[in-house]
Amino acid sequence: MKVAIHQPNYLPWWGFFEKMSRADVFVLLDTVQFSKDSFTQRTRIRTKDGWMWLTIPVRKEYHFKPINEVRLPEDGKWMKKHKASIVANYSKCEHYDEWLVDGYYGQEPRTLREFNEAGIFYLKKKLGIATRIVRASELGIATGLKATDLIIDIVKKAGGDTYISGSGGDKYQDASSYEANGIKLEYASIRPEEYKQRWGGFQPYMSALDRIFNVGGIRQ
């Protein structure tokens, strides 16, 4: 069984879901420390001037907490602003999905993980991906593990025998440790594929919303 692992990013780019589609189980790594200005906190969307960040406000008290402990501000003004930015830049796209946008930004999330997971599940469904998703926090992972040891424990607890590493993983992965634990290593080399965007030209690494609204949902 193939396992891929990733932090629960905010409306991730297309490659996040391409990697997910290659796995049998996709583990959301919600137990690691939140990192300010990472893709768990922000995403990119296309604009007529290029692109812009949508950034979720996270209070300083949570900057060194595990992702699954980060709570969101009770004031939902930022959600209204994010929704307004998406509507302004995508509502005239051929495949714009008002239901998806209204449903996502109409929720009342308490935590960053909860909010980001909802977006991931919305997009996963839109893309027709059948991969099973689980949280690392629900797998009973041993405490204090880092790097390769953490990944190996997650893969084992998820019932996997193959780990799908990200592009460039061969430069830092300890292949011998995986082999010693009976786990096969695969590398997913995923690069941006150019597609037609509303504003002309091409900006890579936008949220998967960009590709879905411009090209359509189900993966080809």
| Burial class of residue 108 in the structure, from the number of CB atoms within 10 Å of its CB (0-12 exposed, 13-18 middle, 19+ buried) | exposed
Among residues 220, 207, 219, the alpha carbon closest in space to that of 93 is found at 207
Q: Kindly report the CATH number that applies to the domain delimited by 2-215.
A: 3.40.50
For 177-212, write each residue's pLDDT tens digit.
999 999 999 998 898 999 999 998 999 999 999 999
Count of CA atoms in the C-beta half-sphere (13 A) of 122: 25
Euclidean distance between CA atoms 122 and 109, whole angstroms = 15
Cα 14 to the center of its chain, rounded Å? 9
CB 105 within 8 A of CB 84: no
Res. 171: pLDDT tops 90: no
Residue 3 DSSP SS3: strand
Which tokens is 195 given? Answer: 């597609």
If pLDDT is split at 50, 70 and 90, which confidence band does 38 have?
A: very high
Among residues 109, 94, 119, the alpha carbon closest in space to that of 42 is found at 119
Over its C-alpha atoms, the chain yields an Rg (Å, rounded) of 18
Burial 73-86 (b: 16+ CB within 10 A, else e): eeeeeebeebbeeb
CB 6 within 8 A of CB 65: no
For 39-66, write each residue's pLDDT tens digit.
999 999 999 999 999 999 999 999 999 9
Across residues 80-84, what is the average pLDDT? 98
Euclidean distance between CA atoms 30 and 138, whole angstroms = 10
Map out the domains of the chain as residue ranges. Answer: 2-215
Which tokens is 185 given? Answer: 């290593």
Please give the model's pTM, rounded to 2 decimal places: 0.95
Quick one: pLDDT at residue 185? 93
For 87-132, write each residue's pLDDT tens digit.
999 999 999 999 999 999 999 889 999 999 999 999 999 999 999 9
Residue 25 DSSP SS3: strand
Euclidean distance between CA atoms 77 and 196, whole angstroms = 32
Res. 220: pLDDT tops 60: no
Sequence-distant (≥ 6) Cβ neighbours of residue 42 within 8 angstroms: 10, 53, 54, 55, 56
